[in-house]
Amino acid sequence: YPVMQTKDNPNFYLKHAFDQSYSSYGVPYMQENCDIGISDNLVLYGHHMNNGSMFADLTKYRSLSFYRQNPTLEFSTLYKKSTYKVYAVFVLNASKSDDNNYIYNISRKSFANDEDFESWSGEAYERSLINTGVDVNKDDNIITLVTCVYDFDDARLVVMARETRKDEDASVDTSAAKANPSPRYPKRWYDDRGLDFPFD
């Protein structure tokens, strides 16, 4: 799919096609404050359509077997074609009220130091449904893909991946990847299932 962006009307392509005509499918679009070639974290949104189009396939990353078969993503711009290695997949809340007045900030683009980045990326690993074994550091270029899921109202599925580094093999050894036995979900997820929230 093409990826669109508008700075003055950020959610325009949520309900508009590539030619700007109205469409319930929309088209994948980039967060308004991201800049190709400048931002270290490109955040892309797309609908989860029932017919499997747009970003619906992202939900398949909840399956370890799907991840093992598809550990990388490709994203092309006018400047280059890049392969990204998936390092985290998780369910996120869009409303603060669903997680003790907190939303994990998936769109951060700047960090005070290595420790600040490690704290931020560490939360993605803690939340991830799959322990991928793929590392990420402050100097990496990240792509963050977001779509709706139906674990609870306004739930989102997030797939985070980092660009293959210079002189790094683009393939991923997925043999050691495994399901995370206790990923962190938003508090609403536990409440809806009558479970205690284990992260207070």
Report whether 46 contacts 26 (CB < 8 A).
yes
- Write out pLDDT tens, residues 58-115: 999 999 999 999 999 999 988 899 999 999 999 999 999 999 999 999 999 888 899 9
Number of residues that make up the chain: 200
Task: Compute the average pLDDT of residues 107-128.
Answer: 94
- Write out pLDDT tens, residues 177-186: 999 999 999 9
User: What does the alpha-carbon distance between residue 23 and residue 56 come to, in Å, rounded to a whole number?
Assistant: 16
User: What does the alpha-carbon distance between residue 42 and residue 132 come to, in Å, rounded to a whole number?
Assistant: 20
- C-alpha to C-alpha distances, 135 to 78, 94, 105, 174, nearest whole angstrom: 27, 26, 19, 13
Q: Where are the alpha helices (DSSP H) in 25-71?
A: 64-69
Which amino acid is it at 21?
S
Q: Give the global pTM.
A: 0.94
What is the per-residue burial (b if ≥16 Cβ within 10 Å, else e) of 51-83?
A: eeebbbebbebbebeebeeebebebeeeeeebe
Which amino acid is it at 107?
S
Given a cut of 80, is residue 145 above it in pLDDT? yes
Bridge partners of 31? none
User: What does the alpha-carbon distance between residue 61 and residue 21 come to, in Å, rounded to a whole number?
Assistant: 31
